[in-house]
A and B are shown apart, each in its own frame.
Chain A
Amino acid sequence: MTNTWYLYVFFAAALVFAGLLGLLGKRNLIKLFIAIEVIGKGISLLLVGTGFAKANILTAQALVITYIVIEVSLVATALALIINIYRHTKSLDVRDLAKLKG
């Protein structure tokens, strides 16, 4: 049982770390948001994998469905924000946000 759990936790950690690297290194706002999505994928894999290994799959599923619904609303809001930022600064570069005045 630990072996199955280990497999899922290993890949979930890899996904979360890839997302963190993307967040640290990229400058495009949409890319940054894709990195956040990848971290979210790692978390949902961790939840369902742990539920599967510990025979608690129903609770894990309920939690993942909650997360997915929240993710949609998060994505809609964040992409609306990104479009607004693009209209203001005419670029998607995250460094331009530091230069905003007035």
Chain B
Amino acid sequence: MILQTALLIGLVVFSVLAIALKDLLKSAISLAVASLLLGIIFFRMNAPYAGVFEISVVAGLITVLFVLTIALTKSGDEVRESKLVNWVFPLVFVAFLVIDALVMKGLLGKVPALASGAETGAFGEVLWRGRTLDLIGQIAVILAGVFAVLALFRKRDKHD
């Protein structure tokens, strides 16, 4: 439990760093570390498949995409952020954490109990049989993404 809490704290710290750091490359790497920690948390919560996907896809592939974009947009670091945000952000965040700690337990008590028993069977059965529609949706979304990237990077024809 203590290790899990430490991992969760690390996840929040690296996520906040990813947003707050000025250097884009450093913030992309912080995001990758946060994904890695989230993957480890998933492993420790008996969700190995989600953990594998989180570490390989989010911490690996998405980080590569981010670094590539940062390399392709060289003057990206020169955007001037507002100075007000730099000291308002931590203050508001700490205030939210305090409110979160005070209120969340009471809110959770008011959530009605979900009518579901313990699951049986293997993960594959739930994924392929129980959530077939989601898989079809995934295929559609991947195709849509591929076509969107193709459309965004298409070359100009000679006739134009």
Contact = CB atoms under 8 A, between A and B. Distances in A.
**A and B associate in one complex:** yes
Interface of A: 2, 5-11, 13-15, 17-19, 21-22, 25-31, 34-35, 37-38, 41, 44-45, 48-49, 51-52, 54-66, 68-77, 79-84, 86, 90-93
Interface string B86-97: 001100110011
A57 B127 contact: no
Contacts of A84: 152
A18 B152 contact: no
Given A34-B28, A54-B114, 18 more contacts: A6-B108, A8-B8, A10-B104, A15-B11, A21-B93, A22-B89, A30-B24, A30-B73, A34-B19, A55-B117, A68-B57, A70-B138, A74-B145, A75-B65, A82-B69, A83-B69, A83-B73, A92-B75
A15 B80 CA distance: 24
Chain B, interface SS category: helix
Contacts of B92: 21
Interface string B59-78: 00110011011101101101
Given A41-B35, A79-B65, A91-B75, A66 B131 contact: yes
A28 to B, nearest CB: 4
Contact of B152 (A49, A51, A54, A81): A81
Given A22-B19, A80-B148, A57 B79 contact: no
Nearest to A70: B141
Given A68-B53, A71-B58, A92 B76 contact: yes
A14 B24 contact: no
Contacts of B76: 28-30, 86, 91-92
A18 B79 contact: no
Contacts of B49: 61, 65
